[in-house]
Amino acid sequence: MHRDHTEIAPAVWRALQAYLRAIPPGSLGWYGTDDGDILELDDKGWEVVRQQMLERPWGYSGNASLSESPGGGEVSSGYIFEYEGHPLDTPFGKAPINSVSFTFPTDYLLGNGAAHLRALTLELARELPFNFGYASFAITSSHGMSGAAKWDHVEDLLTRYPGLDLHHGTGFHSILGARALAPAWLTFLGQPLLGQLGGIAALRKVLPFPEVSLLPMDGDRVLITLDDWPDPIDTQEKAIPPQYRALARLMEPFLFRYEGEETELPLYQQDTNRWIRRFLQP
């Protein structure tokens, strides 16, 4: 969301309440403090979180990191909420955004179905003035624990399953601006991206696939659904579905890219540029 934190924080807080109503009680049990601790999310903790998001003394930025478990070791968090907000004139970063993410374990999808998760995702997004958003299967970590990942295994999974997202949470908050990341099962487009792509009419023209649906939203926004169910897309079993490639081609000029000669970029930036364009690869 390419907006000031002070403008959107109340809407993000309301979306968090909708997320809490949808998930099992007590699913968020831990929160990150400003000094780097991870503490149990009791009533006092919720007051801290509210202040982190809505009532910081300086008032221009906010953040929250909530999860089912504290992370680390072999413990995984299925439910995670992350928010990071800044003023647009912040000196930190070249193209800042405010970003929010809501994570669900795969069991939630299997137990409730894709139609339920799609409707819930739409509810969470409805009030948010997004430029770009998405929902897909993902490899996740909470509270900065991604450094402990078994990266050889992660890279193997991403190579085989392009329908997986390597979830960065708020990791693009200082550089994304009004650009997009890759297409996904659910792809949300707002302004100016939707206009740059040619609007809903252009989307209908390039996505004439029976699996695809377009849902216009208030505020000149749209939700694109690329299939009935999210698909990790096992490339050892089948080709990348054509609707993913078609949307990626339309979005290509507006996808995020680390700038510079590709061979001179740090390796992680080269990998990120290729990963975002994975649906454009042969």
C-alpha neighbours within 13 Å on the C-beta side of residue 28: 27
Can you say how many angstroms the Cα of residue 138 is from the centroid of all Cα atoms in its chain?
9
Question: Tokens standing for 140?
Answer: 């996740």
- The CA radius of gyration of the chain, in Å to the nearest whole number, is 18
Q: How many Å apart are CA 28 and CA 178, to the nearest integer?
A: 30
Query: In the prediction, which pLDDT does 179 show?
Result: 93
Mean pLDDT by 10 residues, the chain (282 residues): 89 96 93 88 94 77 84 64 86 79 94 98 95 93 57 86 79 82 97 96 98 96 97 96 98 94 90 93 82
Return the closest-CA partner of residue 136 out of 120, 151, 118, 153: 118
Positive or negative CA dihedral for 196, 198, 199, 204?
Answer: negative
Query: In the prediction, which pLDDT does 175 show?
Result: 84
Q: How far apart are the first and last CA of the chain?
A: 32
Burial annotation 185-212 (CB, 10 A radius, 16+ → b, else e)? bbbbbbeebbebbeebeebeebbeeeeb
Residue type, 177: G
pTM: 0.92
Positive or negative CA dihedral for 276, 156, 111, 279?
Answer: positive
Q: How many Å apart are CA 191 and CA 197, to the nearest integer?
A: 10
Query: In the prediction, which pLDDT does 96 show?
Result: 77
Tell the residue number behind the tokens 């739409």, with chain if given.
Answer: 122
In order of 91, 104, 149, 157, 266, the CA distances from 138 in angstroms are 31, 10, 14, 11, 24
DSSP string, 20-51: HHHSPTT---EEE-TTS-EEE--HHHHHHHHH
Residue type, 145: M
Query: In the prediction, which pLDDT does 149 show?
Result: 59
Query: In the prediction, which pLDDT does 73 show?
Result: 47
What is the 3-state composition of the chain as percent helix, strand, coil, each rounded to the nearest 5? 35, 15, 45
Question: Tokens standing for 27?
Answer: 């699913």
Tell the residue number behind the tokens 């929160």, with chain if given.
Answer: 31
Q: 192 with 130: CB under 8 angstroms? A: no
Residue type, 112: N
